[in-house]
Every structure is written in structure tokens, then in C-alpha cells.
Amino acid sequence: MFMLRILQWSLTVAALLWASYVIAMPLLARLRGRPDAGPDATGEIPRIVVIVPCHDMPSEIAECVAAIRSSDYPAERFAIHVVADNCTDDTPARARAAGAVVHERRVGPAGKTYALAWVLECLASAGVDSDLYLVTDATARIDRGFLRSVALKMQSGEDIVVGHSVLDIGNRKWFAKCLGLTLVHRNLQNWARERLSLSSLIEGRGMAYSRRYVSRHGWRLALPTRSSAGQHPTEDWRHGVRVVEHGYRVAFADCARVRTPLRGSLSEATWQGIRWERGRQLNALTHGLRLLRNALGSRNRNMFFAAIDAIQPPVAILGVLCAISALLVAAWPGDTLLNVMAASPLALMTCYGLQVTMRGRHDGIPPATVLWTPVYLLWRLSAFVLAWTPLDKLRPQRDRTARQPGE
């Protein structure tokens, strides 16, 4: 019984601390955050280079380029550059026909991270200069006002800006809508960090970097280091940690919306979830802990919260942890303090989940999606557990070779 109580207290304290952290950020942003205000749009309209990495996606790249070209932004002030990463079909031709400049890559390791590093070097060698460099996916569709919203943020002095990703309403599968709610959660957390002048989480479907940042670092901070050699899943999380480590803050443009279909099948979404979770765990144990150590040593507020964001458990895993804590005390009740504390994390996460669900309506996700919560939590828990096992060899070949743009 003594060991059971130790387990109960450990789970309860961990769940309560993380649940309080998740719900505290939006609450503090409303109570103490600076009010939202549009940045001063003085000066010349920034020049934008839009970069789209892709691999064998002819129909998607044509639609992506068309969406960018329809932006509410002066046509002479932006150019679209597509990185055809080891393509074996007519993707390059379709991108050119849609109006993009195409860079065909045949060297180096495959993947979005390496493709972006390569094309930035190509652009620099060709003398292509821009005020900001915007990256989006071939499957993503930026809204007409995306470029303008990001440009306004950059004009206010920001070096890195991420947009507001939402689930494309064309994907109505249950797991896609549940993952869409996780995007709502990330947007809410980014909104809170923006109001508190903290660093947001990098969202790879729509992100922009200033000329100053690119000239100093290129894409080096996103590339794997020795501690993560050979790994490039979740490069956006790693990139977000490392830019903060180098003194930058990631800004959030709430009005810069980009639609994403996410994965089309449960099998693809499952294997992608395992890859993401494996990369997240690797990044947390390396870059995240290192940033936390540096933050404590330098007493840097922005670095501290970015480090906490990097090592905190995913919200789905936190939900499972809260449920287990409550169930253990329900099965083996303790004293009053333990019983109340064990129920508190689940109550906090339930309230937070309802808030996210209500906000999801504005992104086109029906509130009834919350009914899938038990199934979704078990599904995400399986990815969390399987991330520690070498199961990629058991993955069907069709799923192993299918890639998102730039993966």
C-alpha cells in the first residue's frame, strides 16, 4: 500500500503541475497580457520569397501555387520558389506551369529540412534577395491575407513569425478532426504566448523568417545536431528551441491562416504520430533540457518558458495521465487531500478541453468531435508508447514510402 501511495502522489503531482501550466497560459494572457494591436505598417512593402518543398505531388503543388498567387498582396512584391525534392514525376513541370520558379534537387539526404537548407544556399548563390522568406507545404493552402498579415508582423521588428494553422474542412475523418482540435490547442497557446511576449511554437505549414535571420543562420539551426544525428522528424520543434537559444523570439500572427488536410488515412496518421512522438522525445531530452539549463543559468524568461514548452508532455498524453491519476484514487481512495488533488488535474483538463472545443467551431470543427476523446487519447497513447520501439520495419511499404511535402 505504501508503494501504491507513492505512485498515486507522484502521478497526481505531475498531472497537477502540467495541467496547471497548460491552462494558466491563456488565463494569464487574458488577465495580464498586452492587448492585441495591429503593428505599424510604415515603410516600403516587404519583398517576399515563398518557398514550397515537395516530393511527387503534381496536383497538390499546382493548387498550392494557385492559392499563393491569389494572395491579397502586390504581385510584384512576392515570388514563389518550389523545391522539387528528388521528384520522379511531372511535379516540376506542373509547378512551372502554375507560375513558380522550380529548383530540382537531386543531391543530399531527402527531407524538408535538408531541402530548405539547400534551396536557401541556391538562392543566396543566385543573388536572390528578399525581406522575408516564407515556407509552406504543398498540401497547405494559405488564405488570401496570409502574406499581408505576416509582412505586417515583420515590419514591427520580428525576425520569425508563424501562422494560424487550421484543418481543411475537406477532411472529415474522426482522427483528422481530433488532430484539428490539437491545432486549435496550439493556436490558443501561441496566442497566449504572443500576448505575454513569449516565444510561440513553430508551425511548419506557415512560417516566415527575416532577411537578417536567414543571412546569419540560413537553415542551420533546423538541421540535426550530433545529439540527433540521422533524425529529422519534428524539425520544427527542434528549430523553435534552437532559435530561442540563439536569442530570438517566435512571433504569432493569429490572422495569418493556413489550411491543412493533415493525413488522409488512419494508417498514415498513426505512423506519422509515432515518428513525431519519437522526434519530440528526442528533442525534449537533448535540446529542451539544454535550453532549460541555459535559461536557469542566465535567468532568461523567454528561454525558460520555451524550454518548458519543449519538454512538457503532449496534451493528449497529459489527458491520459490526469485520467489515470483520478482512476487510481477512485479505486484506492486515500486521505482527503490526495483525493481532491487527484481529481483536480482531470477537472482542469476537462475545462480546458471544452474551451478548445468551443474555439474549434471558428476553425470549422464541430463540437461533437469531443465525443471521440476516449478513442483519440488511447490512439495517441499508443503512438507515445510505440515511439520507444523500433517498429518502422513492420510498417507497410506503401506507408513507408508515402511522404508529406518535404518530409
pLDDT tens, position by position, 190-222: 999 999 999 999 988 999 999 999 999 999 999
Tell me the CA distances in angstroms from 276 to 30, 38, 49, 305, one per residue in order: 31, 34, 28, 21
Q: Do residues 276 and 237 make contact, with C-beta atoms less than 8 angstroms apart?
A: no
Torsions phi, psi for 109 (to 5 deg): -65, 145
Tell me the CA distances in angstroms from 106 to 168, 245, 371, one per residue in order: 31, 32, 46
Q: Which domains does the chain have, with CATH numbers?
A: 48-265 (3.90.550.10)
Distance CA 385, CA 373 (A): 18
pLDDT at position 108: 85
- Residue 400 in this model has a pLDDT that exceeds 50: no
Q: Which residue has the higher pLDDT, 275 or 199?
A: 199
Closest CA to 222 of 152, 154, 160: 160
Helix, coil or strand: residue 404: coil
- Residue 228 in this model has a pLDDT that exceeds 60: no
Instruction: Compute the average pLDDT of residues 242-248.
Output: 95
pLDDT at position 349: 96
Instruction: Lowest mean pLDDT of 61-75, 122-136, 378-392, name the range.
Output: 378-392
pLDDT at position 226: 63
- Average pLDDT of the chain to the nearest whole number: 89
pLDDT at position 406: 40
**In the chain, % of residues over pLDDT 70:** 91
